[in-house]
Structure 1
Amino acid sequence: MSYTGDVKVGGPADVRELPALTISKVAVDEKMSNNCYLLRCNATGDQVLVDAAASPETLLSLIGSAGLTTVITTHQHWDHHRALADVVRETGAAVVAGEPDADAITEQTGVPVERRVTDGDRVAVGDCELEVIRITGHTPGSICLLYRDPTGHPHLFTGDSLFPGGVGGTFGDADAFVSLIGDVETKLFGELPDDTWFYPGHGADSTIGAERPKVAEWRERGW
């Protein structure tokens, strides 16, 4: 079965096998239906989790006996780190988050953020690496994570900054929306090719090319 990115809470992970990196997507929590992504370097077996959102038993089963080197939290909102303390306690993984959100994540979870990142930083997944792209607006320190597959198209993990059909919510804050849509236009649509596949914090995946024609409409619509 080929990867689709369509997952349901309580259902199996959807697994994408790239030459150097394996991506496993799972949905957790019936109410919020968060997406969590386990990335595994095929050469070393090192694993990194993007958002320990909820259901630690599901995530720990997905991680398995191979262990976990790092948990990356895409932003400070509560629904993206409810399982962080349990996952870190069981695996000893280091915690990475965007610098402006790090203190809030620690306050909410009790888990220290060992590495605070911003634009251009890199996070290793064994022999592979993720490039950090800071997107300010949904929260002050939201980050996206870009894997540039040397044998194919890019893969982008967007947290709640970009979804099929729009950017993340800014809760009536006009300045935050201007920042968010500006960063998304400049740093994502302005830099990445149409075949970039992106993986959001909730719901289905999409591509930069599929969403590009809608960006002006999103800006006009506001959020």
Structure 2
Amino acid sequence: MSYTGDVTVGGAPDVRTTSGLTITKLAVGPVENNAYLLRCTATGEQLLIDAAAEPERLLDLLDGPLAQIVTTHRHWDHWGALADVVAATGARTLAGRDDVEGIPVPTDEPLDDLAEVRVGAVRLTVRHLRGHTPGHIALLYRDPDGHPHVFTGDSLFPGGVGNTEKDPARFASLIADVQERIFAELPDDTWVYPGHGKDTTLGAERPSLPEWLARGW
């Protein structure tokens, strides 16, 4: 069956294979977070995006050693299982530089905008999307044989950008970064993997940008 990204807490993961990465999406509770395991198809090296909760289920996804864990941002529901997964695997930890202080597990590598993260033979690009939190990051994979893939954490969802708690300055920051660093640089067939809920594409969301700007959230 083809990948849809429709997963539920307690249910099976969904898996897609690209030319360079196998991407496994799993929903974990209690806040229905998405975690993503990236596995290099050439080397088998693995990277986990957001060790959010349910460490046993996250560890069950692994096929061999886990090299790195990237935390998209400092909110507790995205690092709830981080300490347990690090203890079990010895994986290195990475997070946006301006969110490191809010993550209770030490960060081995703080990340800045346009930093490169390697997963075996694959290169991921960090995009700093400020507003939901100061140091929130997304990870971009440009598949050389297909469309781009972007893991957006809580900065971009179907129907809008992430929660900025009705703060006009935070919303202005986030919508600007999402427009300039995601929509302006990537094509419509870019697949978006958010921190909660269903996936989307930039083409599905792009027509709604003026509406998002007008409503202010």
Match 2:185 to one of 178, 181, 191: 191
Q: Does 1:203 align with 2:202?
A: no
The equivalent residue for 1:104 is: 102
TM-score (norm 2): 0.99
Alignment of 1:91-170 (within 5 A): 91-106=89-104, 111-170=105-164
Residues in 2 aligned to 1:189 and 1:33: alpha-carbon distance in whole angstroms: 26
Amino acid at match of 2:181: K
Q: State the one-letter code of the partner of 1:143.
A: I
Residue aligned with 2:176, SS: helix
1:15 aligns to 2:15 (yes or no): yes
2:209 corresponds to: 215
- Number of the residue aligned with 1:80: 78
The whole-number CA distance in structure 1 between the counterparts of 2:216 and 2:66 is 39
- SS of the residue 1:71 aligns to: strand
Q: Pairwise CA RMSD of aligned residues?
A: 0.7
User: 1:70: which partner in 2?
Assistant: 68
Does structure 1 residue 89 correspond to structure 2 residue 87?
Answer: yes
Residues of 1 paired with 2:76 and 2:166: CA distance?
Answer: 19
Structure 1, unmatched stretches of 5+, are none
Contact 2:68 2:93 in 1 (8 A): yes
Cα deviation, residue 118, structure 1? 1.1
Shift of 1:103: 1.2
Matched to 1:85, the amino acid is: A
Percentage of matched positions with identical amino acids = 60
Deviations 1:77-133 (A, max 9, x none): 000000000000000000000000011113xxxx21010011110111100011000
Q: 1:105, 1:63 → 2: CA distance?
A: 23
Letter in 1 for 2:107: V
In structure 2, runs of 5+ residues without a counterpart are none
Q: Provide the secondary structure at the position in 2 that maps to 1:54.
A: coil
Number of matched pairs: 217
Moved over 3 A (4+): none
1:50 aligned residue: 49
Aligned-partner residue type, residue 4 of structure 1: T
Partner letter of residue 51 of structure 1? Answer: D
